[in-house]
Every structure is written in structure tokens, then in C-alpha cells.
Chains A and B, each alone.
Chain A
Amino acid sequence: MSTQVHGVLTFDKEKRKQIKFSEEALQTIESIKKRYPEGKQKSALIPVLHIAQAENDGWLSPEVMDYVAELLNISAIEVFEVASFYTMFNLKPVGKCVLEVCRTSSCWLNGANEIIAYIEKKLGIKESETTADGLFTLKTVECLGSCGTAPMLQCGASYHENLNYEKVDALLEKYRQENKRKNYTDLDWQNTK
């Protein structure tokens, strides 16, 4: 049973009932809520949405947003209006490894367009598409603060800088071998300079 709530989004009551975050995630959320004064738990929303995204295969479904609203004792629309504002939150499913290639000035001046075209050709997808095997999503993003080490891309918590085609090859191969979801919240970030 699905009910339309916003554009392409649907809300599935059965799915909603099944949502349960890991114990570890729930504990982290409780400790985050303590960072703010009594009654200001809404401040935890963005950090909690990062955890929620990591707990839900890299995206925020309407059911997950509703669950987060309950955790923070706020309304679901308050969650949705924030989730839809910030670019790091995905409102539809993404691949396990989201490759976010910076394209602003300094990166463009150092070959970002060529890197994007190379990845598109190599993976057989266009920007904002996901490979058929669900492993890679390609995104272009705005300045990531890596201008002195351009061109670059971010995947999960890791920064990959001074990119050339060989480094892109090695990175894609590594991710293929690992076949693991990369989240912003990962503690095992591995930057390549």
C-alpha cells in the first residue's frame, strides 16, 4: 500500500514499520542529541540524517525520513525540507560508490571536464547515472576545497586528489574489488594525494 506524498516519492507503511537502525547508530544519535540544550534536539537533524543515509544504503527514503522525525520528536516535513536542501543527501537510490567529481574553476582549469568524460566513457554512464551493477554513481559537484590538488573527486569520506587517468583506473579497480558501500560517515577514509 503506497500513498503519494511528494512528486515521485511514495510512502510505504509496511516498509516504515520495518525500519530499525543498528544499536550503534542509535547510541551515536543519543550522544549527538546531548550536544544541544534541552528542547533543541532538532539541531541534531543534519548529523542524524548522515547516519540515517549510511544505515539505508546511501539514500533517504520517505520512510527513513519519517523514522528520523520520530527519533527527534519533530514532524516529517521538517526532515524533508532539510533533506531536500542539502546536496549530500540523496533522495533516490545511488550506487555503492558515489563518485563526486569537482568541476568548479580550479578543478576545471586542471582538467576536471576531461576526467568526467573519461569516467563516463569508462563506466558507460553519464553524469548522475548509476552503473547497471549498482556499484558506481557519477555525480559532478561544486568546489570541494581541494583546489591546490586539482583535479579531484570524493567518494564517501575519502578525497582523491591530483587525479590522472591512471589514478582513476586504479581507484575504480580498487572499489570493484572491495565491492563495498562508501559512506561519508566511514571511519576508514583513505585519501590519495
Chain B
Amino acid sequence: MGKKLLLDKIHIPGIQSYEVYRANGGYAAVEKALKNFSPEQIVEEVKKSGLRGRGGAGFPTGMKWSFLAKPPGVPRYLLCNADESEPGTFKDRYLMEHIPHLLIEGMIIASYALGSNTSYIYIRGEYFYVSRILEKAIAEAYANGWLGKNILGTDYSLDIYVQVGAGAYICGEETALIESLEGKRGNPRIKPPFPAVAGLWGCPTVVNNVETIAAVVPITQMGGEEYAKIGIGKSTGTKLISASGHINKPGVYEIELGLPVEEFIYSDEYCGGIRGGKKLKAVVAGGSSVPVLPAELILKTAKGEPRLMSYESLADGGFQTGTMLGSGGFIVMDEDTSIVENLFTFTRFYHHESCGQCSPCREGTGWMEKVLKKFIDGTARMEDIDLLWEIQSKIDGRTICPLGDAASWPVASAIRHFRHEFEEAVKNKGIKKVNHYNKRWGVAEKV
């Protein structure tokens, strides 16, 4: 049984409410932070913890915090990125819905550390009902003196507001999120300047993922050094993994980083193996943006070592034979799955979600979707495989924000590892149709 730091209290009945959360040690980390630590000391503890951004990029949180400019007389802002939209990822929704006060508690400590007196939680519009849950938790926190003026009698004051989006994956990119919060289209900004210098309304701003901010609570409680002992190497602490696809037990799991992938997929504690006793074909380990890996490469690295759930192990082999931990959106596909058709759903997604600012992404994602459709419809030619490769290579690295890269990597990896499936689609004039509904519900196929 791995260590749990975020979801350790999730099974306590009523933990969603303030009373139960508080009775089970909730907000003790805020007390500790505001009474015993200076803001700089909190930043120091987060640095020592080795915590890395849990939204996907994995950038060291303490370092991000230390970049924050502090010009006198200028407000600073903490923005919580709750725009969770990466296909395969649903961990933040789970955390916010079931233990909302953990996020509020983390927001208070992080805001104190950064010197933010007004912080916003930007949540995707589709999670409207979750925004209501958060607003209730915030109201409870105000009523009990954890928010507002002079918290715990100190001279620190903080207001937190929830801001809902309106359906745009791109707003999970931090500068697009800032644009959206300013009431504009979610077009990413050219960096520099980085948000740490000029972010929301031109003021120094830190944007952190929900899970990253929640992790500040156990780090404050146990200290950065103790937190860094959990996990493996530079992958410290625990990570929420959203597991979905063809597995027996889909859901959100908190794992200690370093858990073997094989154990995660097959043990009853986690995914419980492949549904219907089917064979594992491929895994997208960190949300739709990361390279897809065939079974043999997700279970073992190219060197034959067991692949672990950590930033380093999943990336072992680079993009030739490795992938990324990303957001922890773990999509499992069984032997009946068409890699080409799954890729089509990803590419259609990126085409739909491209903000349209940069030509390579705006045009390229549309081309890729059209070319992929030909493989499904049975009208593709062999040359289309190389055409697809060509298009993705012309998007990668040529856009303002990483959405372009994210759109090209799934295509590149699918061709790299499953080129034969594209060739078969050409030869067979289409792909084998599978009734996924019948598989999902165990309905026998009519012969």
C-alpha cells in the first residue's frame, strides 16, 4: 500500500464539509504556516520538497515561486489552474469535488508564501457544479476566519474567488488562462515576459495546478525534507493518476512516484488488469499530449528495465522509446483497439481546441484530422503516412504555446510505433470496426 498524502482522508464520510475536514486535522497546516513560518521559509520548504508541477510540464514549483518579481507597491497574484481539460485527466475534478477544503487550505498557504492578497481559482466552465462546491467551501472558510482580513490575528489578509471558464482547452496554458481571466479570448501570450514578471493585469503572477497547490498542505505539515524522501530520485512525493480506458477499475489513484507501471496496471489495488481478460496493446501515460507507447515499451524500457511511474523512468529513451508522466492521464487500450482511430479522436480534439493564433497549429491540426479520416474511411494512400509525418513535424516547435507540440507528438508516436496499422488501413481500405459499447457493457456481439 503506497503512501497517501492528498487522498488519505477521502474515505471519511462528510469530508467535503468544513466541520468534518477541520475535525480531521484540516487547516492545521495554515495555522502552522502563518504562525511559525515567514513566507520565504514556506518557499524554502517547497524548494526542499522537490515538488514538481502536477499539471503536466513538471517544472519545479519552488523554483517557479522564487522567480516571482516583487516590485514594491505592485500586487502579486496566485492563480489556481483548475481548467483540467487534457483528455484522459480527471484527477483535479475528483479532488475538488470530494475534498474541496484541501485546495482552499493549499491556496491560503501558497498565497501567503507568494504575498498574494487576492487569488483566483480558474475552473473550466463545464465543471460549473464543482465551482459551486468550491464556493461553498470558500464561504465556510471565511465564516471560520481562514479567509478575509487579518487571518488568525496576523497582518495577512486574503480573498479567494472562483472564476469559471467557458469551454476552451487552451485556457489551461498559463498565459491563455490569464487572458481568459482578463475577459478575453484564450490566446496564449508570447513569452517573455513570463507571468512571474508580468501576468494578470500586468502584475507578477504565479499559475499552479490544483494538485500542486494541494500538495503544499502535506509539505507544510511534514516539512520539505520529509516530503522529498517519498517517491524516487527527482520524482518526489505522490501523484494523482487518472486511469481510464480498457481496465477493470478506472478511477483516480494516488500513487507514490516510482511505482512500477506493471503493478499499476495489473494489481487489484489500482487498475485491476485489462477488462475481459484481453491483452494490453498500448498506453497513453500522461494525457493525450504525450507519446503513445506499445505494451512492451510501457512495461519495460528499451534497456529492459521495469518502467516506473516517475518523471524520469517514463521519459527514459526520449521520444524514440519513451514518453512522459504529463498530467497523469493514464489511458489504457486493449488488443482490439485501432491506434489510428484513437489518434483520430485526439487530432480532432486538437483541431477543435487550437486557438487559431499560429498558422502551423491552426492549419496543421485540421490537415492531420482530414488525413486521418481518410485512413478510417478507407481512402488513404500509402503516401499519406509520410504526409502525416511531414505535417506533424512542421507543427512541432513552431508555435507560441505547447498546444502545437501536444498535437504533433501523438501523431509522431503513433506512426513511430504503429506504422503497420496505418499500412493495414490502406491495404484493407479502412479499419476493423469494433463495437466499443458492447465491449464496455459486456454485451455479446450478434453473429
- A residues adjacent to B (C-beta < 8 A): 35, 37, 40, 42-47, 49-50, 72, 74, 78, 81-82, 85-89, 103-106, 108-115, 141-151, 154, 157-159, 164, 184-185, 187, 189, 191
Contacts and interface: CB of A to CB of B under 8 A. Distances in A.
Given A105-B346, A147-B88, A42 B183 contact: yes
A74 B245 CA distance: 45
A113 B124 CA distance: 24
Given A109-B331, A148-B252, A189 B125 contact: no
B300 interface: no
Nearest to B253: A148
Contacts of B168: 85-87
Contact of A82 (B126, B184, B341): B184
B331 A106 contact: yes
28 contacts: A35-B161, A42-B182, A42-B183, A46-B125, A49-B166, A50-B125, A87-B166, A104-B87, A105-B87, A111-B440, A113-B437, A114-B436, A142-B85, A142-B169, A142-B348, A142-B353, A143-B288, A145-B124, A147-B244, A148-B243, A151-B437, A154-B126, A157-B129, A157-B132, A158-B129, A184-B126, A185-B128, A187-B132
B250 A148 contact: yes
Chain B interface, DSSP helix/strand/loop, else mixed: mixed
Contacts of A47: 163-164
A167 to B, nearest CB: 11
A106 B166 contact: no
Interface string B125-145: 111110010000000000000
Interface of B: 75, 84-90, 92-93, 118, 120, 124-129, 132, 161, 163-169, 180-186, 201, 242-246, 250-252, 284, 288, 329, 331, 333, 337, 341-342, 345-346, 348-349, 352-353, 355, 435-441
Contacts of B437: 110-111, 113-115, 151, 164
Nearest to B439: A111
Contacts, number: 180
A154 B126 CA distance: 8
B183 A148 contact: no
A49 B349 CA distance: 24
B244 A191 contact: no
